[in-house]
Amino acid sequence: MNFGELTLVERDQMPTYRIRETLEIARGIKCFLKLDVGVTRGQVPQDDQTQRRVQELERQLGNAREELARTRERLSRKGGRKKARPERPRDKSDGVAYDGVLLPPRSLRPTKKGRDSSEEVYFEATRREVDWMVENLGLSTKSSVLDLGCGSGRIALGILDRVGEIRGYRGVDVNKRFLRWAWRHITPEHPNFQFIHLNAKNDYYNPEGERMDNDFMLPFGECEFDIICLFSVFTHMLTDDVRTYLKEFQRILQPKGKVFMTVNLEDGVPDVTNNPIGYRGRQEYKRPLTTVRYNRSFFESLLDKSGFRVDGYDPNLREAQRCLIASKKTL
């Protein structure tokens, strides 16, 4: 028997020694002494061969106890040097339950640095936005919705929670990593909620994608939707791509349908600025199209030339971005 080779279970982690193995060996030797040899306290066998065997086993038992003591001391020293870290909540691939709803894990809920990413903040904001859509866009069980830039299905979960099953929902995003969660956890139970990957180039979201040209079309039929929503999409998009999408919205939106979008709009600024220095205190940007800001009059002219009119703004739905409702101009 060799009691000197107590090894680490995993390298580069806090050491976990085979204490259980050592204890079991020690217990086994002790039992053997009592049961097999017949040694009890105060009894010493008279046979020389048996006595030598007992002495050898007692020596091994002593060695095992000493090694066990040294192992405990090493663990105690290591535990004293390294402060215990508070356990942090970890994402689970299947998501996180909140108020009876399975939400995507935090890694699939992108938020700005410093913003609270808790389930409560995330989903209560979603509920407010869906309630707003009910009140201002006429969202109901009869609606057909296109959610452009749907991510992992935030708005879809909000619709299911606040409205229930609707006539049709189509979520589109350039990021497959987000969509996979929705494919696994939303569509199987709600077939009317479909999610489509669009490999369109965007230097912020999808720099390796395919550039949209004049023939670009979304994979939907004419007048298929009565609501189109874009949360934080045009905030990362330049003029040519905005025009391309607005052209498609004219084709796929019903005559009395509504388009809702969030946009960075200001008065008295250049027509369009990619990553404006000093805007909302921002002094540097790590990626292109992190923030695209438009002159309000210029953006409204884009809508007008694309056949849309501005129905109004809501200053309260989102703190920073302008929330704009548009509809098709009557012919």
Residues 293 and 168 in one domain: yes
Residues 73 and 148 in one domain: no
Residues 113 and 207 in one domain: yes
Domain final residue pick, 57, 81, 105: 81
Number of structural domains, the chain?
2
| Longest distance between any two alpha carbons in the chain, whole Å | 117
Report if residue 9 sits inside a domain.
no
> Which of the four pLDDT bands, split at 50, 70 and 90, describes residue 62?
confident
For residue 20, pLDDT beyond 60: no
Report if residue 236 sits inside a domain.
yes
DSSP annotation string for 223-264:
T-EEEEEESSSGGG--HHHHHHHHHHHHHHEEEEEEEEEEEE
Average pLDDT for the chain: 83
Report if residue 45 sits inside a domain.
yes
Range of the domain at 46: 19-81
For 297, counting Cβ atoms within 10 Å of its Cβ (0-12 exposed, 13-18 middle, 19+ buried), the class is exposed
Residues 41 and 111 in one domain: no
Residues 29 and 128 in one domain: no
Residues 173 and 36 in one domain: no
DSSP E strands: which ranges in 268-321?
272-274, 292-295, 308-314
Residues 50 and 122 in one domain: no
Residues 178 and 230 in one domain: yes
Residues 57 and 110 in one domain: no
pLDDT for residue 23: 52
> Which of the four pLDDT bands, split at 50, 70 and 90, describes residue 214?
confident
Other CB atoms closer than 10 Å to residue 177's CB: what's the count? 11
Picking from 132, 140, 129, 324, the residue whose alpha carbon sits closest to that of residue 226 is 140
C-alpha span between 95 and 159 (Å, rounded): 18
Residues 134 and 264 in one domain: yes
Which residues have CB under 8 Å from 100's CB, separation 6+? Answer: none
DSSP annotation string for 129-181:
HHHHHHHHH---TT-EEEEET-TTTHHHHHHHHHT-S-SEEEEEES-HHHHHH
Domain final residue pick, 81, 104, 121: 81
Highest mean pLDDT (candidates 13-22, 31-40, 66-75, 134-143):
134-143
Report if residue 205 sits inside a domain.
yes
Out of 51-60, 75-84, 206-215, 290-299, least confident range: 75-84
Residues 58 and 100 in one domain: no
Highest mean pLDDT (candidates 13-17, 36-40, 86-90, 92-96):
92-96
pLDDT for residue 116: 64
The domain that holds 175 is classified in CATH as 3.40.50.150
For 292, counting Cβ atoms within 10 Å of its Cβ (0-12 exposed, 13-18 middle, 19+ buried), the class is buried
Per-residue pLDDT tens digits for 159-174 = 999 999 999 999 999 9
Domain final residue pick, 56, 81, 106: 81
Per-residue pLDDT tens digits for 78-124 = 555 444 444 344 445 689 999 999 999 988 987 655 466 789 999 99
Residues 62 and 194 in one domain: no
For residues 218, 111, 294, 241, the Cα torsion angle rounded to the nearest 10 degrees is -20
Report if residue 1 sits inside a domain.
no
pLDDT higher at 52 or 127 = 127
Report if residue 14 sits inside a domain.
no
Report if residue 311 sits inside a domain.
yes
Other CB atoms closer than 10 Å to residue 165's CB: what's the count? 13
Report if residue 6 sits inside a domain.
no
The answer to whether the CB of 169 falls within 8 A of the CB of 192 is yes
The pTM of the full predicted model, rounded to 2 decimals, is: 0.71
